[in-house]
A and B are shown apart, each in its own frame.
Chain A
């Protein structure tokens, strides 16, 4: 085999989300002669990004003064805020918590925002390569990160090389910036290798499932923002909805379930579909059509779960580090803020060393510290969680204690050893009928003849212990129906429909035996989200 091709840069950034792009833009603004490239696994910028999304514009103002004169294609100023407690048939309006007041903010599509940021980065000389997956990390002789390896293209399912086989190249750089978003697969390896979480709590996550609807004219009030808690979640499960009114008769809606849920029979996708049938929501959607849909894990561990964000040759930024603010349900402003700060650090020091201390002393971390106890409070149920949230908000995080976080894979109860919550579900009529019908709206695409990118270390445990103890929760938490237990002549076995995967990473997080590892498929594979 020929020698692997290599390209060299001063900085290689993994992930063209708001963090990766803002980092590259800021670095180029400060140091024109730095060679920086951004690698993105989606076939086009924004196709794998999914967020609500209401964003705070201040970091964008700092990054690109004047952006308001040529805003991204979907950018609706926030108008009224509503916050509801839902019951199955009704509900009541709660006072909107201060963190959730959105005056001055904007409803955007984060995908469209990134697609709008990318050419601005390119105009500054940043090289952006969508359609290439950073499959592996490169280390130098001293064990420091020195770049990434791009995944091969044209490998068959059995590992052999197909006629079009193209070896991935190595991208070498003195500094690698991981901006992969929640549960980045390279970040996960780095956290393990350098024990970056040795002094922090385990990271925790939620899963957000979202749809973008085109509804009949006259129903949408552009700028209206509605959040809810309560039904269809039971009191022990952390779950809540968002509903954002966009322009052109479009609404973005979604449902977030904490992945610290305990009931192994819980189905986040079904909870979302149920919520859509609430009498407050259903009349808005009836007769409309889905434009695009998808799902993504959200990082929720906050202040106490933030790992060390630097290591030799590399640093973490954005949601990949874990900077999302849960009570605000916003991470984009934190992503851009941390990215800019990291770029300033690199422009001054040219090394990752010192980044951790700098981030921890920054306003981004102070913001997380103040709200650190809010999400963990919901582990004791939604009623305690709400009271605790009110206390923490009133006291502005001055409680002398800090609630600890626990890893999500370990929170499931065993079948038959707990009281299953009563699910007060209704009969569904709105599309999609099921997860497979939903995946159609994600337009996800993977060449079927490639190695399965969801690596299950031990499939025996699926038919033995897991079936017995948890009833194979992977078949329920995956929002795309990737995991199926099938029975044929050979007996019961796990079937992985990897081509359906929407790259949300939930399985990598929630599988109770930690046997599932998400790795990158061929570059350019995956969902093709439109304006999510």
Chain B
């Protein structure tokens, strides 16, 4: 069984995000980029399924510019068997990504596609669902536990009321939640080994995918700054101040 894993590169979660002064985007010059944490969890789950003998091959997929190769090498160092790099000038929006994945699914014929439930840059939470719809296969989103047996996946998901367990026929799409697992540390010798693992490059244009980037971003703005607080002497003053602001 083959597993396809979506492996997006984003601004690292430790980095303090700043908006460019002209509001045209988020500053990325000199900023650390790393794997979307949910995608790291997706890859870890795929690797664990392979270690259990359920899967035989794990393929990581990234969409982006030429320098994405170093990022995919990290996925290979973590343990993926090979990588597919869809070369596009920039990151793409969810519908385009889902269409790209569908093309790769048709070619690779995986039994399982695991992606992060969302990327921490745009927080869209759409690609997995869109892919399932386009592929016309079941989806199990926000997985916190995954068991695969007899052509089915039992997936536990965290919902407001507690835990919900789904059973889906394979092939299927699973999107991962934070508590599914804790990704492993990469070992130095594995980085060496990853250098000889294959990365297949596919030009975006050659896939024949109709771009679905229909959202146009007009402006980025940082959240409003917190106003400086006021010290009050006593309750009476507090009440008066709240009344003056029309809050009481």
Contact = CB atoms under 8 A, between A and B. Distances in A.
Interface residues of A, number: 38
Interface stretch (A108-116, A183-191, A277-285): A108-116
A43 B30 CA distance: 13
A214 interface: yes
B184 interface: yes
Contact of A153 (B21, B29, B185): B185
Interface stretch (A406-414, A439-447, A511-519): A439-447
Nearest to A523: B185
Contacts of A217: 21
A129 B188 contact: yes
A164 B188 contact: no
A120 to B, nearest CB: 14
Contacts of A46: 30
B149 to A, nearest CB: 23
Interface of A: 5, 7, 43-44, 46-47, 73-74, 109, 111-112, 115, 127, 129, 131-132, 150, 153-154, 163-164, 166, 169, 171, 214, 217, 248-249, 289, 291-292, 440-441, 443, 445, 528, 530-531
Contact of B188 (A7, A115, A214, A443): A7
Interface in B17-52: 18, 21, 27, 29-32, 34
Interface stretch (B8-16, B53-61, B130-138): B8-16
B30 A443 contact: no
A150 B190 CA distance: 14
B192 interface: yes
B237 interface: no
B191 A445 contact: no
Given A443-B15, A443-B16, A164 B185 contact: yes
B29 A531 contact: yes
Nearest to A249: B21
A109 B27 CA distance: 16
A7 B189 contact: yes
A169 B187 contact: yes
A5 B186 CA distance: 14
Given A127-B192, A166-B187, A169-B189, 14 more contacts: A7-B189, A7-B192, A43-B14, A73-B29, A74-B30, A132-B188, A166-B185, A169-B187, A291-B18, A440-B16, A441-B16, A443-B16, A530-B15, A531-B29
Contacts of B187: 5, 166, 169
A163 B14 contact: no
B188 A111 contact: no
A248 B34 CA distance: 26
Interface in B143-186: 182-186
Contacts of A7: 188-189, 192
- Determine which residue in B14, B183, B189 has the highest number of CB atoms from chain A within 10 A of its CB, and name it: B14
Contacts of A150: 188
Nearest to B191: A129
A112 B191 CA distance: 24
Q: How large is the interface on B (under 10, 10 to 19, 20 to 34, 35 or more residues)?
A: 20 to 34
A528 B30 contact: no
A182 to B, nearest CB: 22
A249 B18 CA distance: 14
Contacts of A169: 187-189
Given A73-B29, A115-B30, A528 B15 contact: yes
B182 A112 contact: no
Given A73-B29, A530-B31, A164 B182 contact: yes
A43 B186 CA distance: 12
Nearest to A444: B14
Nearest to A167: B187
A164 B30 CA distance: 30
A249 B30 CA distance: 16
Nearest to A72: B30
Contacts of A531: 29-30
A126 B191 CA distance: 14
A164 B12 contact: no
A164 B14 contact: no
Contact of A530 (B21, B30, B183): B30
5 contacts: A43-B12, A47-B32, A111-B30, A150-B188, A528-B32
Nearest to B184: A164
A502 B185 CA distance: 22
A73 B30 contact: yes
A367 to B, nearest CB: 30
A131 B189 CA distance: 13
A530 B31 CA distance: 6
Contact of B32 (A44, A74, A129): A44
B31 A166 contact: no
A138 to B, nearest CB: 15
Nearest to B182: A164
B27 to A, nearest CB: 8
B14 A443 contact: yes
A392 B189 CA distance: 52
A441 B14 CA distance: 11
Contacts of A115: 30
Contacts of B30: 46, 73-74, 109, 111-112, 115, 530-531
Nearest to B228: A429
B184 A166 contact: yes
Contacts of B192: 7, 127
Contacts of B186: 131
Contacts of B14: 43, 443, 445, 528
Nearest to B16: A443
Nearest to B183: A164
A433 B104 CA distance: 52
Contacts of B29: 73, 531
B61 to A, nearest CB: 23
B125 to A, nearest CB: 25
A443 B182 CA distance: 22
Nearest to A131: B186
Contacts of A289: 18
Contacts of B185: 153-154, 164, 166
Contacts of A74: 30
Contacts of B183: 164
Nearest to A527: B14
Contacts of B189: 5, 7, 169
